[in-house]
Amino acid sequence: MPLTSRPLRKLGFLTIGLFDEPDPRRGHESTLEIIELGERLGFDSAWVRHRHLQHGISSPVAVLSAASQRTRRIELGTAVIPLGWENPLRLAEDLATVDLLSGGRLNPGVSVGPPMHFDQVKGALYPDTADAEDFGHGRVERLLDFVRGKPATDFSGVEGFEVFSDRVQPHSPGLGRRMWYGGGSLRSARWAGEHGMNLLTSSVVKAEGPDDFAEIQLSHIRAFRAAHPDGEAARVSQGLVVIPTDSASPEQRARYEEYADRRTPRTTEPQGPARLLFAPDLVGTSAEIAERLHAHAAFREVDEVAFALPFTFEHEDYVQILTDMATRLGPALGWRADTP
Per-residue pLDDT at 220 exceeds 90: yes
CATH class of 10-152+164-332: alpha beta
What is the Cα–Cα distance from 311 to 84, expressed in whole angstroms?
23
pLDDT tens profile 300-339: 999 999 999 998 999 999 999 999 999 999 999 999 987 5
Q: Which of 6-10, 244-248, 270-274, 328-332 has the lowest mean pLDDT?
A: 6-10
Residue 131 has what DSSP assignment?
G
Per-residue pLDDT at 174 exceeds 80: yes
CA atoms within 13 A on the CB side of 268: 5
Per-residue pLDDT at 20 exceeds 60: yes
Per-residue pLDDT at 1 exceeds 50: no
Q: How many separate helices (H) and strands (E) can be counted in the chain?
A: 11, 14
What is the Cα–Cα distance from 95 to 43, expressed in whole angstroms?
22
Q: Please tell me the predicted confidence (pLDDT) of residue 3.
A: 47
What is the Cα–Cα distance from 288 to 333, expressed in whole angstroms?
11
Domain ranges of the chain: 10-152+164-332
Average pLDDT (268-285) is 95
Q: What does the buried/exposed string (b/e) look like for 235-249 if buried means 16 or more CB atoms within 10 Å of the residue's CB?
A: bbbbbbbbbbbbebe
Per-residue pLDDT at 5 exceeds 70: no
Q: Give the distance from CA 140 to its chain's centroid.
A: 16
DSSP string, 177-246: GG-EEE--SHHHHHHHHHTT-EEEE-SEEE--SSS-HHHHHHHHHHHHHHHSTTGGGS-EEE--BEEE-T
Residue 326 has what DSSP assignment?
I
pLDDT tens profile 227-268: 999 999 999 999 999 999 999 999 999 999 999 999 999 999
User: Max CA-CA distance within the chain?
Assistant: 70
pLDDT tens profile 183-218: 999 999 999 999 999 999 999 999 987 889 999 999
Instruction: Please state, rounded to an integer, the average pLDDT across all residues of the chain.
Output: 96
Sequence-distant (6+) residues with CB within 8 A of 101 are 65, 68, 69
Cis peptide bond N-terminal to 242, omega within 30: no
